[in-house]
Structure formats: C-alpha cells, structure tokens
Chains A and B, each alone.
Chain A
Amino acid sequence: AQTVTQSQPEMSVQEAETVTLSCTYDTSESNYYLFWYKQPPSRQMILVIRQEAYKQQNATENRFSVNFQKAAKSFSLKISDSQLGDTAMYFCAFMKPLPLHGSSNTGKLIFGQGTTLQVKP
C-alpha cells in the first residue's frame, strides 16, 4: 500500500522569502503521479502543481516548483517570493494512473497529513 508523509506540521516564512515543504512517499509502483494541493482558510482544495514520475524534469508553475527525487521517494514544494495569500495548509498527494479502460484502478488520491504554512508580513 502507498503511504505519504509530511513531517512538518507547521511552518512559517517572511513575506517575499522562499520556503520549502517536505513530502516523502512509499510505493512499489514505477509509474504514478504526485500533487501538491493548497487549502486556504476558505477550505477549498486547490491544485497547485503536479509531477509525473516518468518525467525527470521538475515541474514548475509560476512561483511554485518541486524537487522530485524518485530514488529517494521525495517530493518537496518550493514557494518563491512568498505572499500573504500563500498562507494555507498544503497537502502532498500520490495517485496511480487511471486506466484507459476498465475500472479496477480507483484513481484515488492518497494524502499526507498536511503542513500549515503561515506567511508573515
């Protein structure tokens, strides 16, 4: 069974600085996807970034980037130029690919416990 671990329950960063959130996972699969979700106080789950395991290049979305280390099973999120609006809980998640046909694979997400990030002015 797959597991996802976020070892930092809480973190803080000054506005405009850079912060890195850690995530490790355990799987015997060779092909899978990894995601970071943001949950602000509004409670809405927002997809931030994704990484396909078969890609060596780290994903980047504007100020958000990941450091994907497949052999180490590590998937950290770096937020550059932190903004007050980045204050939220962040979840790392793992997913096996959905099949093209059939229904045997749920496509479910397996989440870590979350890291609460506070950006300070």
Chain B
Amino acid sequence: DAGITQSPRHKVTETGTPVTLRCHQTENHRYMYWYRQDPGHGLRLIHYSYGVKDTDKGEVSDGYSVSRSKTEDFLLTLESATSSQTSVYFCAISRRDRGTYEQYFGPGTRLTVT
C-alpha cells in the first residue's frame, strides 16, 4: 500500500461539463502519473508530474490538463468532457525499492460521460 487515494471513485457526468479527479498521496513521492484504462489498450499515460508545478504530457493528453500545487496532490481536469473520455482513470506514484523505481497505483476512478 503506497498511501494513494483517488476521489471520486465513481462519477457520471454529462457531455460538455468540466470534471476534476483528485489523486492524493501520503508518502511525499516526487513522481506522479495519470493513466486511463480502456478495453484492448491496457493503461495509457495521460500526464505526469516530476515535482510541484512540474508537469508534462503523456501519449493521450488531448482534452486533459493537470495541476500539482503541492507534493501530495495531483489533479486531472477534463475541461469539457466527451463520451470518448469514458474510462477508468488510475493515478500512480514511483517509489524507489531495492535500487529500482516501481510504480504503485491508486484504486481507480470510473468515469462515465453521457
């Protein structure tokens, strides 16, 4: 358990509305990530952060923005939700263990855009 929580755990929203998902960690890790999981694709990186106010895009970043104003929180925002953003969203942190970085995941958020 890497002390990662996500909120909300489930959300249903309408097309065109803004949505913010929150990831919270308790262990002061530098690197944080947002992935989305869709059938047939595994997990794909949306955005990541390598420190407070330091973020960058992943492979599926269109339509998403992120913010990290403090170490423990990493927010993912859908400015105007679309049906193609219906997915399960996972937050992750990188933690150094036995000389190697390993990623640990939060419980996920299921988002449905109607």
Contact = CB atoms under 8 A, between A and B. Distances in A.
A45 B58 CA distance: 20
Contact of A52 (B40, B100, B105): B100
B102 A106 contact: no
Contact of A97 (B40, B101, B108): B101
B88 to A, nearest CB: 7
Contact of B42 (A44, A97, A103, A113): A113
B50 interface: yes
Given A45-B105, A97-B101, A106 B51 contact: no
A108 interface: yes
A98 B93 CA distance: 12
Interface residues of B, number: 28
Contact of B94 (A43, A91, A98): A98
A55 to B, nearest CB: 10
Interface in B68-114: 88, 90, 92, 94, 100-105, 107-108, 110
A44 B107 CA distance: 5
Which of A35, A52, A91, A98 has the most C-beta atoms of chain B within 10 angstroms of its own C-beta? A98
B81 to A, nearest CB: 21
Interface residues of A, number: 22
B108 A106 contact: no
A108 B58 contact: yes
A62 to B, nearest CB: 16
A82 B97 CA distance: 27
Contacts of B50: 103, 106
B88 A43 contact: yes
Interface of B: 31, 33, 35, 40-45, 48, 50-51, 54, 56, 58, 88, 90, 92, 94, 100-105, 107-108, 110
8 contacts: A43-B110, A45-B90, A45-B108, A47-B104, A95-B101, A97-B100, A107-B101, A108-B45
